[in-house]
Structure 1
């Protein structure tokens, strides 16, 4: 499933693959493969596919932050 949001005219899409719950033993070596893109009109069109961008523990923190944002517990 894709995360897709328009951030003041910049379309941001993110898909995270290969996530598994991180462990204390090897949290620094458990990577997720990601597809992402940033686009806006004709001036911005950047994308990457199947790239190791986030550690699994970072995905957990990102999920918490995005949930709080969507629940209006934090401001943009």
Structure 2
């Protein structure tokens, strides 16, 4: 199953295969196979196919971190670097701008900035480069990504869970 998100004009397509639940004895040896693509009109087309770049335990960690972010249990920015250097995730909690010293005045209706997730994709060119692109997921897109990962982990199913059925109907999951 794939997830496809249009992130302000950059389309992210992502699929995880061969996920297996892990435990303390195999958390660092159980690799998932990943396909992903970033596309935008004629200026961007970066893809990786059938590559072992995420551990199953990293999928589990991402699920927990996304749940914490969405439920406002996270209060500080957290960057999660995967073991393989293809991805990095920056989890940004809700922020009260009136407490930020960079702002002199914040109107009451603009006081809070909602959560977001920055997904950094690092480029390879015969080897890892210093170059990357960062796409930002808003709350709704984070919720979709969490549902997708829960499907991959077997916590949700397309047969039994209405949210999964809705995302399939919208072609976000396919």
TM over 0.5: yes
Which residue in the other structure is 1:21 paired with? 21
- Work out the CA distance in 1 between the residues paired with 2:3 and 2:60: 15
- Work out the CA distance in 1 between the residues paired with 2:36 and 2:13: 5
**Structure 2 SS opposite 1:27:** coil
- Work out the CA distance in 2 between the residues paired with 1:50 and 1:62: 20
Q: Normalization by structure 2: what TM-score?
A: 0.38
Per-residue CA deviation, residues 1-54 of structure 1 (Å, 9 max, x unaligned), is: 101111121100111000001110121111000111000111100111110110
Q: Normalization by structure 1: what TM-score?
A: 0.82
Aligned pairs for 1:10-49 (under 5 A) are: 10-49=10-49
The structure that is strand-richer by fraction is 1
Q: CA RMSD in A?
A: 1.8
**Structure 2 SS opposite 1:21:** coil
User: After the TM superposition, which segments of 4 or more aligned residues of structure 1 sit over 6 Å from their partners?
Assistant: none
Which stretches in structure 2 are left out of the alignment for 5+ residues?
72-92, 94-114, 117-174
**Bigger Rg over Cα:** 2
The size of the alignment, in residue pairs, is 73
Which stretches in structure 1 are left out of the alignment for 5+ residues?
none
How far apart are residue 68 of structure 1 and its match? 6.5
Which residue in the other structure is 1:60 paired with? 60
